[in-house]
Every structure is written in structure tokens, then in C-alpha cells.
Structure 1
Amino acid sequence: MNNKRKLAVALGAVVAPVLAISLPASSASAHGYISSPPSRQAQCAAGTVGCGDITYEPQSVEGPKGLTSCSGGNSRFSELDDDSKGWTVTPVNSTTTFQWQLTARHSTSTWEYYAGGQKIAEFDDNGAQPGATVSHDVNFGGLTGQQKVLAFWNIADTSNAFYACIDVNVGG
């Protein structure tokens, strides 16, 4: 190996780690939301309801675990918390399949579903990494009529969850 080539290799070995550390880390561009029945953020993305930033980022409703808001506590997406916004209510059966569309597949602890102020379903993934879509068959028990379902995807290796609200009419 000639001296110029040795020098180039040595410089590359020194400069590459410095560049890797000094460049900004790219943020994950996406995560997940419920696409069927259409969640509030899916309705925003489809233009069914006029919304702000969530229109372009339906997968980004992330916040600390344990919240009870459709926006996941994120003020950028506060319109998701507005029950009077004209959300389309989807007729569903007493057992309904909810489908998540995932654009970043995080290790998962649990998926939880709430309606009528109570937990109606929980699915434990024990830290598994899901595929691009995840479906859950959720039984509403004795709940009927119009319900707002709050669903969240609890990430296994962070303190955050992804949130979605779905407006349904059970048995309607």
C-alpha cells in the first residue's frame, strides 16, 4: 500500500467516528395509528375532518404512558380531543377488529382499549416487535350505542405510548 493510500485510510478511521457523533440524529419519522375502523387521526389524514398538523402525521400521537386523551397530551394535536369536531362514527358489531398501521415497529409491551370509562381489552406482546400491521378482535361486552374508544400501544423499551381515539356505534 502506498503512503497516500495509508494516509487516506488513517484519516478516514479518525474522521468517521467524529462525524458520526457530531451529526444530528435523525428522528423517527413515524410510528403508528388505527386505520380501521378509522381513528380520528386517520380521518384527519384522509381529509374527512379538517385538522391541523395531525393531517400530515397521523402516526405521531405519542405521549407518556397512562394518559386518557386522544392527543396523547400533545398540544400540536389537541383537535383530536375535541368531541364536537364532527368525527365520523363507524357502525360496528359487539366484537370488532381494530387494525393498527405501523410505520416504525417498536418492541411492544401491551395494547389497551377503553370505552365507557372502562378497559374492554388488553393484549400482551411481551416485548415482541410487531409487523407493519397489527389487528385485535375487541369485544365491547355489554356496551352498546355510540362510544369513543381510546386505544394505546405501550412501547416496551420507553416510557411512551401511541394513542388513538375511534368513534363507533356498537350494534348500530
Structure 2
Amino acid sequence: MRKKISAAVIGLGAACVSVLSTVPASSHGSPDSPTSRQVYCANGTVSDCGEIQWEPQSVEGSKGFPSRGPADGTICSGGNSRFAELDDPRAGGWPATAVTAGQNYSFRWKLTARHATTDFRYYLTNSHYDPTRPLTRADLDPQPFLTVPYGGRIPDATVTHQGRIPSGRSGKQLVLAVWTIADTGNAFYACSDVVL
């Protein structure tokens, strides 16, 4: 009888480990307006995305951008090699959200785990940006076009920020969104391809 109970307990434990190992980590957040690369991977619009398709909310890297943070060429993945597919420009083939230069836009994040927040910052690529090459700091305006300070508060599960898309751009560009966490050394990064 003891052998049967022991075998049942071991079997149940193995089943629990198997089930738990297939559940994605409950992580953090990603923007869905404009749609980010990680969301396109998670919803199946873009294929061959690797692990990011199961963890679109997990693009976490060092904070302090642009003076610190992910290296050039790894910005869209937050410097996280597990999500390197986000840095691949796919010859400029990422789907893009249509936005209008000089107009207001609602930038929205869905957060799966909420954290004490320093701020959300939004950067736009400049006239030198080439969508067929990995993103570098030289491709971005040095200052964010929108900064939303939080002063350590915890945001809601869905956050929307109103901001004006900068003028003087046209064609395919990229919005880099950075959510800086107040009580850790990290931030969350997301690249959203746009057409102006």
C-alpha cells in the first residue's frame, strides 16, 4: 500500500512540475497601441519570433536609457538575448500602425504585473532612421517626445498616455517606449513600428 501511495505522490508531483513549466511567467507589460513587435509576435501576426511569442510582457533590461540600458542593436529586445528576434529588422517588414505627424495619439500599455514606476518615456526615430537596420541610439531623437512621470506610484493594469506625434517625419518610423521601474535597476522596452 505504501508503494502505491508513494508512486501516486511522485506521479502527481511530476504532473504538477510539467504543467507549471509550460505556463508563461507572470511578468510585466507591453504596449498594444501602437502595436509593439512583441504583441505582433504573441498574437501570431508575425511568425518565427522565438520565446517572445509566449512572453510579450517580459522585455526587461537595464534602466537609464539612453545613457545606459541596452546596447545599440539590442534596444528592441531590452538587451535580452532570449528575445533577439525583436531586434531583427526583417528587412523593414514589421507590420506598422498608421499615425499622423503633429496629431495627438493615445499610447496604451497592458500590464500583467504592476510595479512602482518612475516614468514612461516615448522616443521617435529621426530622419536618418533606416527600418532595414537594427535600432541604435543615433536613429532616435535624443529626448523623448513624451514623458509621463509617476513618482513611484503603481500604475493601473491598463495605462493610456496622450501625446503628440512629432512633426517633420514621414514614411516608416519607430516608436521606442520605455517603462522605468522605480524600485529595481530595470526598465521595460518596446518597439512599435509606425507609418507617418
Measured after TM superposition, the shift of residue 29 of structure 1 is 1.7
Structure 2 partner of 1:92: 99
Bigger fraction of residues in strand: 1
3-state SS of 1:166 partner: strand
Q: Does the 8 Å CA contact 1:45/1:56 hold for their aligned counterparts?
A: yes
Structure 2 partner of 1:151: 177
The one-letter code matched in structure 1 to 2:84 is S
User: Is structure 2 residue 42 aligned with structure 1 residue 42?
Assistant: no
User: Is structure 2 residue 138 aligned with structure 1 residue 138?
Assistant: no
Measured after TM superposition, the shift of residue 96 of structure 1 is 1.4
Structure 1 partner of 2:50: 52
User: What is the root-mean-square deviation in Å for CA atoms of aligned residues?
Assistant: 1.6
The one-letter code matched in structure 2 to 1:77 is F
Measured after TM superposition, the shift of residue 138 of structure 1 is 2.1
Q: Does the 8 Å CA contact 1:100/1:135 hold for their aligned counterparts?
A: yes
Measured after TM superposition, the shift of residue 84 of structure 1 is 2.0
Structure 1 partner of 2:10: none
Worse-superposed segment, 139-148 or 67-76 = 139-148
**CA deviation string 1:130-157 (max 9, x = no partner):** 1110011121222422211111100010
Identity of aligned residues (%): 52
Q: Does the 8 Å CA contact 1:62/1:163 hold for their aligned counterparts?
A: yes
Structure 1 partner of 2:61: 63
Q: Does the 8 Å CA contact 1:109/1:127 hold for their aligned counterparts?
A: yes
Structure 1: unaligned runs, 5 residues or longer: 1-27
Length-normalised TM-score, structure 2: 0.70
Worse-superposed segment, 76-85 or 49-58 = 76-85
Q: How do 1:1-172 and structure 2 match up within 5 A?
A: 29-50=26-47, 51-65=49-63, 66=65, 67=69, 69-84=75-90, 86-93=93-100, 94-116=103-125, 117-118=140-141, 119-145=144-170, 146-170=172-196
Measured after TM superposition, the shift of residue 95 of structure 1 is 2.1
Length-normalised TM-score, structure 1: 0.79
**CA deviation string 1:102-148 (max 9, x = no partner):** 00000100101111211211110111101110011121222422211
**CA deviation string 1:33-91 (max 9, x = no partner):** 00122100000001111111000000000010123501000000011111126211110
The one-letter code matched in structure 1 to 2:166 is G
Which has more radius of gyration? 1
3-state SS of 2:176 partner: strand
3-state SS of 2:183 partner: coil
Structure 2: unaligned runs, 5 residues or longer: 1-24, 126-139
Counterpart-to-counterpart distance in 1, 2:146 and 2:88: 24
Counterpart-to-counterpart distance in 2, 1:161 and 1:58: 14
